[in-house]
Structure 1
Amino acid sequence: MARMFPIGEERKVILQWLAHMFQRPAERPSWHIMVTSDHGTGKGYLYKEILMPLIGSNQVSLCESTYSNFLDKNSIHLFNTQLCILDDCESTTSRNVYGRMKSKLSEEYASVEPKYENRTTVPVFTRIWLNSNKARPFPIESQDRRWFAPSYIELPEDQASTAEYLEGMDAYLADDGLTQIYSYLMTLSLDGFNPKATYQTDTLKSIISLSSSFEEEEVKEWCEENKVFKLESLQSRFSDKPDLAKTLALNYCQTKSIDIDGSGRSNWWIPKGWKPKQAKEYYAEQQPQRLL
């Protein structure tokens, strides 16, 4: 842990987060761990050789390559699991990943729909640990309190040192090391640990700075997906910042008084440069039933 997380305060938070999972498995934290690093730093060793054997492989889910598997409606990553590893999923500039992930990080109940089974609501105890080889796995909004991001892990100058160190770890684990680690986590003090609140590290602030103008990009994406809409639809989507959403949408949209749905003229928001005829044709293609 000291090799991966050399800053003592950050290491303490992560150790307590892990210990909390073992000592109070039914108390789900509302914030999770985001580890960014170079390739080959050994971060995969922690969950494959230590956490999975200690927790039980049937209670650890692994999502690799893409976030869509985790976010899919048929995903069972939060179903009867204690820990979910998001391992080196593709870096993305889309704000949708963060937006869709919010509820999965903090809610204590989730609606799951395993393939060929009926949708059901289940309690969630799953902690999320994200590993990424990118400085910014995905854009994060400025007020985020859902992730604890320790300092970026850099590869030691001697690249062989990690492999050599892990050989020693293999020997330690084979010699009853897992029992010692389990005992350590079960007896580690949780004084000062708050499963419902954490602080923004400098690394998280850096990730947020790389996600600058989060709100504008979020509104832009929504406008691109909807194209023809009423102001109340936009402000309903961004109910926590309706006036800001309206202001930002004006960068990409224009308002026109159009009889677009047969109910008479009213103000509609359409992309800049579009003519009313183009907007009516688009609306008819997207929602033909309204024009019957």
Structure 2
Amino acid sequence: MSRNNMDTKNTAQKPMRAVNYKHWENNVDCELLICIGSEASTRKAKWFLEEEFKIRWMQAAIGKCTKYEAMQISNPNQPREQIVEWLSASNSNPDEQLAIDELRSYADAYKFNVWPEYEQWASFFSDSFYQNAFDYDGNENYKPPVVVTNAELISNSKRFLNVNQKSVKFLLVGKLPDEQKKIILEELKTHRIKEAKIFRIECKPPENIDIKNGYWAKLKDSFNVVTEFLDVTEELKIIYELANDFPENEDDLLNPKAHLDTVDDVVRRLNESWVRVTNNGKNYVVRKGLDNLGRPYMEFFDYKNFAGYFIHEPLIPTGEFDRTLKPIMENPAIVWLKDERSIRSEYGVTFYPKNVQFYKGRLNAYYGLGVTPIEYEIEVIKPYLDHIEKIICGGNETYFNYVLNWCAHMLQIPEEKPETAIVLKAEPGTGKGTFVKPLGKIIGSHFLHATDAKHIVGKFNKSMENKILVFGDEFFSGSKEASDKLKGKITEETQTIERKGIDTIETPDYARVILASNHENIVRIEMNDRRYLFLEVSNEVMQNHEYFGQLGALVKDETFCSMLADYLLKRDIRGFNPRAVPKTEALAKQKLDNLEPLDKWLLHCLRVGTFCGGGSLEVRLTTSKATESAKTWLDDNKLSVYGDLSRKLGYTLQDFAKRKRIRKDDVLTYVYEFKELEEMRRIFSRKIGYDIEY
């Protein structure tokens, strides 16, 4: 029965029942977890919980007093008619209807809605709830309010943590064991709750009050509530910044969900978080979700699941009426989908690393940095910079400046690929991870830490989508095919993303790549390759636990990462060309290790100063003799060349000799006329990009 249609005859106050006060020997207490959004909302939530606790305590302590009587004690200044109106109920099922109607009215009066559905809320306050809460069996052995089991908390079966609402959320429990408290905090972290306090409320019961001798006033006067709290906000520091929508005005609604009363409310609120997307011919609704590490990602819902997401929300009047002139009510999700004002992206989704919601008519999947930059203090970040200069770059200032500029370029101009990668050849325990981890925290959800080469160059590469920085830890490309894929990853502006069981798609690619390994042949680098800054990491502090203990504690601090981000954003990179990679001895060694078989033969000849072992460099050599010399050396070194050896040899020697046809003994034959030895050595060194010691 609704309040508007209540029979006024049934609103009269029920007579007080003559039940004896049941003495409660021990104080009753409970703990209440309140996830706060503002000072005002916290005060309201705490007040509401204290009032409810008083009422429950009185009902249990006094015995079978009605909730009207308990509320009259708790709210002595409230007009009798108002309390009667709150607690009016039909005669069909007085206990159940009382719980439903009184709580509906209570919520309306105090503008506080805890659970989306009144009936579900009311079930917690039903007669069985009170019996379970206080274990009422007619004697004095009562228990404090409900304790949530670990299973209920983890499964969220009773919606104690309604993480889908940007509203105050609270959990009413009994005395919390330490282990259960840890589980609750872990659950809060999982749901990215921003702040929380655990309130301990203790009620000291009055003693020996006779119900027949004015116990109402005596009970009210002797009722005592002691409130203490433990702030657990420090334990709930999270990456995601939870929006604070709570009103500061005490007269405003505490729960923003209460604003979803009209179509305009629904459109306004859902447009804040949801976007309709048509992608590859299919319709979705998209919002920002959070992965297991608390990093944002794009979460797709089909229309059915989107509507199911709002299944517990009150239906919204559409403004239309059925044949009986009854207002048509619909799920908020359906209302939003039908409204032309709902935000939509008809051209799908893209990735562009700038803070814009849409780019070229497509929904942008970029979520910004993982930290908020704050004014840097050079003495704070200096140990990290020193680690890069002295350990990662081996004390070379040129390499050090390039690395810092490369990192600054990633933050300042993320939409421009540098087309170069940093490769670190490092023994375990030398600090390569200490260098990369802060950069990963800064990049946030667009950072990938790959511990297997297949995550970068494998067939199924969904993890590479929408990335700004990719760290291949203990990377080894192995085959030429994998190396070719890696080259494309470093330089190409688009990439093909292939998911298991789903069609491949072409997406923009802005990823920078850092590779690290102690393998001798991390990547196959060709002779003229200019894509890599190849560094041999110093072993100076390898396994130095004191050094890495101090540096590790620094780089884990979010303040440090925020300062480092500010430093890189402010670093002057005017004139920096990321494609002008410094030449390093380590890169030259890597190139020499990866030479093609015929290039290795040529390097051997340039080192010994002869092609055929004659003691001096041949000025002229027939093509057949040169081919025979190369084949003999390849066979001796167990190397092979696929294809026609003579033709490939000509390609190898084209910068070192001229191929001519001459007449010898009245026979036309082809010969190579070689340049001077020192000139050929300079050419070979120039191809490698480093002065080789011959």
**Match of residue 64, structure 1, among 448, 451, 454:** 451
- In structure 2, the residue matched to 1:261 is none
Offset, 1:10:
0.3
Matches within 5 A, 1:4-153: 4-5=392-393, 6-48=395-437, 50-56=438-444, 58-65=445-452, 67-90=453-476, 92=478, 94-150=479-535, 152-153=536-537
Which stretches of structure 1, 4 residues or more, deviate above 3 A after TM superposition?
A: 170-173, 214-217, 220-223, 245-248
Do the aligned partners of residues 60 and 116 (structure 1) sit closer, same or farther apart at CA in structure 2, a change above 3 Å counting? same
Across the aligned residues of Structure 1 and Structure 2, the Cα RMSD in angstroms comes to 2.8
The match for 1:181 among 549, 552, 564 is 564
Return 22-31 or 175-184, whichever deviates more. Answer: 175-184
Using the alignment, how far apart are the partners of 2:597 and 2:480 within structure 1? 7
- Which is bigger in relative contact order (C-alpha 8 A, separation at least 6)? 1
Distance 1:214 1:131, change over 3 A: farther
Question: Deviation of residue 40 (structure 1)?
Answer: 0.7
- Is 1:166 aligned to residue 552 of structure 2? no
CA distance, structure 2, for counterparts of residue 29 and residue 89 of structure 1: 20
Partner of 2:539: 155
Q: In the TM superposition, what is the alpha-carbon distance from 1:52 to its structure 2 partner?
A: 1.8
**Percent of aligned pairs sharing the same letter:** 24
Mind listing any 5+ residue stretches in structure 2 that lack a counterpart?
1-387, 601-638, 653-694
Structure 2 distance, partners of 1:81, 1:137, is: 22
- Residue identity opposite 1:127 in structure 2: R
Deviation track 1:186-221 (CA, whole Å, cap 9, x = no partner) reads 01111332134424322111100111226779xx99
Q: Which amino acid is the alignment partner of residue 81 of structure 1?
A: K
Structure 1 stretches lacking a partner, 5+ long: 224-233, 236-241, 249-292
Aligned length in residues: 223
SS in 2 for 1:33: strand
Q: State the 1:135 CA deviation.
A: 3.5
What is the rounded CA distance, in whole Å, between the counterparts of 2:598 and 2:450 in structure 1?
28
**What's the offset of the Cα at 1:68?**
3.1
**1: CA distance, partners of 2:508 / 2:454:** 22
Deviation at 1:125, TM superposition (A): 0.4
Shift of residue 245, structure 1, vs aligned partner: 7.9
Question: Which amino acid in 2 is paired with 1:47?
Answer: V
Q: Report the TM-score, using the length of structure 2 for normalisation.
A: 0.30
TM-score by length of 1: 0.67
Matched-pair contact (CA < 8 Å) for 2:430–2:543: no
The alpha carbon displacement at 1:43 in A equals 0.7
Distance 2:640 2:449 in 1: 29
2:585 corresponds to which letter in structure 1? D
Compute the displacement of 1:31 (Å).
0.9
**Contact (CA 8 Å) 1:63, 1:70: kept in 2 or not?**
yes
Structure 1 residues 37 and 171: alpha-carbon distance in aligned structure 2, compared to 1, 3 A threshold: closer
Residues 160, 110 of structure 1: alpha-carbon distance in 2 compared, 3 angstrom cutoff = closer
* Partner amino acid, structure 2, of 1:155: N
Q: 2 CA distance for matches of 1:205 and 1:4?
A: 18
State how far apart, in whole Å, the 2-side matches of 1:201 and 1:139 are: 16
What SS does structure 2 have at the residue aligned with 1:137? coil
Greater Rg, structure 1 or structure 2?
2
| 8 Å Cα contact 2:420-2:578 kept in structure 1 | yes
C-alpha displacement of 1:136 = 2.6
